[in-house]
Structure 1
Amino acid sequence: MPRICRRHLSPERPHFVRLFCCMVAGGAMILVAGCASMGLSGVSEPAAEPHSVAMFVASTRKGEHGASNETAVEGGARFSLQQIGVPPDHTPGKVERPSFGSEDPQKHFVAVSRRVLDENEFFSELASHISGRIGSNRDVLIYVHGFNTSYDEARFRLAQIAADGRFGGVVILYTWPAAGSLLDYGAAKENATTSRDALTKLIHRVAELPDVGRVHVLAHSMGAWLAMEALRENAISGSPDLNGKLGDVMLAAPDIDLNVFRQQLARLDASHVSVLVASNDRALSIARTLAGDRPRLGGLDLNNPTDRAALDELGVKAYDLSAEATGLIKHGTFADAPQAVRTIASQITSSRPQDANTQAVLGDRPVDSKIVTTPLAPLTGAPAAAPPQ
C-alpha cells in the first residue's frame, strides 16, 4: 500500500479520510493488474475466435425438436447447409454444451447458421464446395448416427469429429428419426428401415459429382446397419464400388447381427470396410438381449478365438477399442477417445497414388507434427502406418 495511505489510515484520522485512501489504493492495484493483462500497446489481447465447420445435412426427420424430431418425414429427405461453431478451447473427444443456461460460442458447440435447400440446390452447392480442391480435400465424409440420438447431438458430434480429425474434405450428416429411449428400440429400427432409400440415393448422387474424390462413410451403432443396407442397395443396382469412388466404410460399434452383416458384405469389396469393436460396450450388450441373444458385430471380443476367426473370415479390417472405452455405457468411444478419432482421420486421409504430386491440407489449420496419428493396430488387413518422424 502507498506510504501516504498507510499514514492517513491512522485511527486518529476521520472515517471518510480512511475510506478515501482505501479507494485510492484499491484503484491503483486494479490499474496495475489491468496493465499486466495488456500488451505493450495498452490494448488487451482479443479472445480467440471459434472454429467453424461447414456441414451439409440430409434429414429424414420431420423436424429438429420435440416429437417431430422422432418422426419420419414423408417423401424422402430435407436438405440444408449449416455452419457449426467449435469453441476455441475445445477439448478433443468432447462436445462442449451447456448443462444449463444459455450457450456461449466461446465455450460451447453452437449452430451458427442454417440455410434450407431443395434437393437440386443441395447437390449443386455440394459440387461447388468440392470444385477446385485437390488431393484428399476432394473427398466427402458421410456420417450416419446411431439409435437414441437427437438432431442436435448428431450435428454437434459430426462437427467434433471433423474438427478433431481435421478432415479437409466436405462433411455430410445423414440424420434419421432415431427415437428417444431404450423402450423405442423397435420403433427406431423401423424408422431406420424407412430411411434406407433416401440414404441409398444420397450416396449414389454424391459419388456422381464431377470433381468428387472418394466417398467415405462413417456410421455408428444402428446407423451402421442403415449404412450397410444403403451400400448393399447401390451394389445390387450395379455400383458396388460407386464406380470407383467408394472410399473407406468405417463401422463404429455396429449394431448389426453377424449373419446379417455377412449377407450385406457379400455384395461389397470387404477391403473397403473397417469395424471398430469393443467387447465392453454395454449398449450393444443390451441390444444383443433385445435381439434374442444374437451377437452384435460391434460387441465381438477379439480375445475370443471364435469371434476373431469370424472377423478373419469376413476379410474386413478390425480395430479393438475396448481399452480406449470410457464412461458407463462405453458406446461412443469412436468419437470420445482422441486416439480413436485419429485412427479414423488417418484412415480416410491416407495417401493414394493419384495424389502423389498434390499436397493435402487438412481443414484450415495445419497439421501438428507433434500429434502421433498412428492407427490402432488392425486385426486384419494392411499393417498400421508408422508414426511421423
Structure 2
Amino acid sequence: MRLAFSCAARRGTAEGSPCAVWAFLIAGLCALALSGCGSAGMEIADSAAGPRPVSMFVVSTRKGESGALSEAGNDGEMRDSLQMIGVPPGHQVGQLERPSIGAPDPSRHFALVKRRSLDETAFLTELASHLSGRIGSNRDILLYVHGFNTGYDEARFRLAQIVQDGRFGGVPVLFTWPSTNNLLDYGAAKESATVSRDALAKVIRLLTETPDVGRVHILAHSMGAWLTMEALRQDAIAGSPKLNEKLGDVMLAAPDIDLNVFRQQLARLDPSHVFVLVAANDRALSLSRTLAGDRPRLGALDPKNEADRAALEALGVRVYDLTREADIFIGHGAYADAPDAVRTIGAQITAPRPQDANVQAVLGDRPVDDRIIAAPLAPPAAPAAPTVPAASPSATPATVVGAPTP
C-alpha cells in the first residue's frame, strides 16, 4: 500500500452560454500565457556581483537559444552544453526573479553566467567529472523537462530555482524542446514535443547507463510530462538495461495527459516510481481538456471527487494534491511557485526511496494532511524457492540485507 499526500480543495465547473464558453477559453489562454513565460533572449551576466551559481547540463533540441529558431526550429538533433546560472542573493523561495525588460541584474535576477558547448563525448566526460567523489544522494541526477509555452531562458532559470529552493545537492540536467510563445500553436507544440521524443529517450538511457550516477529523478511539467512518459515507455519497450535499476522518482507536475493514454504509458513502467502532482483548479488544464474534446487531463483530477479518486487509486501511483497550494487564478505552476510544494519536491528526491526506507514526507514545517491511499498494482508471484539442505550446527548463518537485527 502506498501513501500519497494531499492538501485539497474542491474543483469548480465551467458551463453556460456560448458567451460564457468564450470567456472560459479566453481565461484559459491567459492562464497558459502566465504559466509559461516567453524568453527575453540570452543575456550573459557579470558574475562579479556574487550570485550563488547553479551548474547544470543542458540538452536542447532547439536550433537556437532565442528568436524564431528557439521557438519553432526542431530537427530532433541534440545540442549539449554546460551552463552556470546565477541565483540572486535575495532570492525568495518560489519566485523566479527576472527583469520585465532589458538585461538581468545579477544582484536581483536569475542570469546566465557561463556557457560552454559540448559534444556527446565531452558531455559524458564532464558528467563523470561532476560526479567524481560524490556520495549518497549527491550522486543523483535531476532531469527537468518543461512544458508548453516555455522559452529557453525560463526553462534554465526555472530549473536553477527548483534546485535552489529544493536544496538538491546532485547534478541538474535540463532537457529543453522548442515551444512557441504563441498560445494558438498548442497543436504545433505537441508535434514539436513528439519530434523530441527520441532525443529525450536517448538522454534517459545515457544518464541511467553512466556508471557513477546514483538515481535519475525526473521532474516534468504539463506537456513535458506527456513527452517524458512517451520517452520512458519507448526505453522500456526497447529493454533499456539500467532503466529500472537507476530510475528514481518520476514527478509529473500538472501533467497534460489524457487519462487513458497515461494508463497505456504506465503499463510499461513500475508505478512505484511515479508520483503525480494534481490541482483541481488548474485552469490551463481545463482549457486543454476543452481543446481535447472534453477528455479528462491527469493533472486536473480532483481527489475530492469520488470518481476521480477511484481512478487515481487504481493507477497505483502516489498523488500529491496541490489544489489548496495552487494560485487561485492559474494553478498550473504551483509545483514551483508554492514554497511548500517546491520544498516537498526537494525532500522527495533527496530521501531514500519508499522501498528502501520508511520516509515521512512533510510540507515545510507541518505534516501533510488528508492523505490519499493508492494501492499499487499487485507484484507478480515470486517463483518457488529451491529446497535448501539443513545447515550443520557449526555453520555460520547467512546475513539477509534489510532483515531485522535479533
Q: 1:59 to 1:136 in 2, by over 3 A?
A: same
Equivalent residues in 2 for 1:311-322, closer than 5 Å: 311-322=312-323
Q: Deviations over 1:187-237 (max 9, x none)?
A: 000000000000000000101111110000000000000000010011101
Match of 2:196 in 1: 195
Counterpart code for 1:160: Q
Is the 8 Å Cα contact of residues 343 and 374 (structure 1) preserved in structure 2?
Answer: no
Q: Deviations over 1:232-264 (max 9, x none)?
A: 011101138614001000000000000000000
Match of 2:343 in 1: 342
Match of 1:260 in 2: 261
Q: Deviations over 1:25-74 (max 9, x none)?
A: xxxxxxxxxxxxxxxxxxxxxx9831100010000001111111112343
Equivalent residues in 2 for 1:28-43, closer than 5 Å: none
Q: Does 1:273 align with 2:235?
A: no
Counterpart code for 2:210: L
Instruction: Choose 1 or 2 for highest CA Rg.
Output: 1
Counterpart code for 1:187: A
Q: Does 1:176 align with 2:169?
A: no
Following superposition, the deviation at residue 99 of structure 1 comes to 1.6
Is the 8 Å Cα contact of residues 346 and 373 (structure 1) preserved in structure 2?
Answer: no
SS of equivalent residue, structure 1 residue 69:
helix
Out of 348, 364, 379, the position equivalent to 2:372 is 379
In structure 2, what is the Cα distance between the partners aligned to 1:376 and 1:221? 25
SS of equivalent residue, structure 1 residue 324:
coil
SS of equivalent residue, structure 2 residue 77:
coil
Q: 1:254 to 1:353 in 2, by over 3 A?
A: closer
Q: 1:272 to 1:262 in 2, by over 3 A?
A: same
Is the 8 Å Cα contact of residues 319 and 377 (structure 1) preserved in structure 2?
Answer: no
Match of 2:332 in 1: 331
Match of 1:40 in 2: none
Counterpart code for 1:372: D
Equivalent residues in 2 for 1:30-179, closer than 5 Å: 49-74=50-75, 76-179=77-180
Match of 1:367 in 2: none
Following superposition, the deviation at residue 159 of structure 1 comes to 0.4
In structure 2, what is the Cα distance between the partners aligned to 1:341 and 1:157? 11
Is the 8 Å Cα contact of residues 49 and 106 (structure 2) preserved in structure 1?
Answer: no
Is the 8 Å Cα contact of residues 240 and 269 (structure 1) preserved in structure 2?
Answer: no
* Relative contact order, higher structure (CA 8 A, sep 6+): 2
In structure 2, what is the Cα distance between the partners aligned to 1:294 and 1:354? 34
Counterpart code for 1:380: I
Match of 1:42 in 2: none
Q: 1:272 to 1:75 in 2, by over 3 A?
A: closer
In structure 2, what is the Cα distance between the partners aligned to 1:211 and 1:337? 33
How many residue pairs get aligned? The number is: 324
Match of 1:359 in 2: none
Gaps of 5+ in 2: 1-47, 358-362, 376-406
Q: 1:269 to 1:378 in 2, by over 3 A?
A: farther
SS of equivalent residue, structure 1 residue 60:
strand
Is the 8 Å Cα contact of residues 315 and 374 (structure 2) preserved in structure 1?
Answer: no
What root-mean-square deviation, in Å, do the aligned CA atoms of Structure 1 and Structure 2 show? 2.3
SS of equivalent residue, structure 1 residue 74:
strand
The sequence identity of aligned pairs, in percent, is 68
Match of 1:297 in 2: 298
Following superposition, the deviation at residue 179 of structure 1 comes to 1.7
Q: Deviations over 1:91-129 (max 9, x none)?
A: 100010112343211100000000011111112111111
Q: Deviations over 1:130-157 (max 9, x none)?
A: 1210000000000000000000010000
Following superposition, the deviation at residue 177 of structure 1 comes to 0.5
Following superposition, the deviation at residue 279 of structure 1 comes to 0.5
Counterpart code for 2:219: L
Counterpart code for 1:379: I
Q: 1:381 to 1:123 in 2, by over 3 A?
A: farther
Match of 1:249 in 2: 250
- TM-score, length-scaled by structure 1: 0.79
Q: 1:78 to 1:374 in 2, by over 3 A?
A: farther
Is the 8 Å Cα contact of residues 342 and 374 (structure 1) preserved in structure 2?
Answer: no
Q: Which runs of 4+ in 1 moved over 3 A?
A: 352-356, 373-378
SS of equivalent residue, structure 1 residue 322:
coil
In structure 1, what is the Cα distance between the partners aligned to 2:67 and 2:290? 29
Following superposition, the deviation at residue 380 of structure 1 comes to 3.3
Is the 8 Å Cα contact of residues 235 and 241 (structure 1) preserved in structure 2?
Answer: no
Q: Deviations over 1:147-184 (max 9, x none)?
A: 00000010000000000001000000000011212200
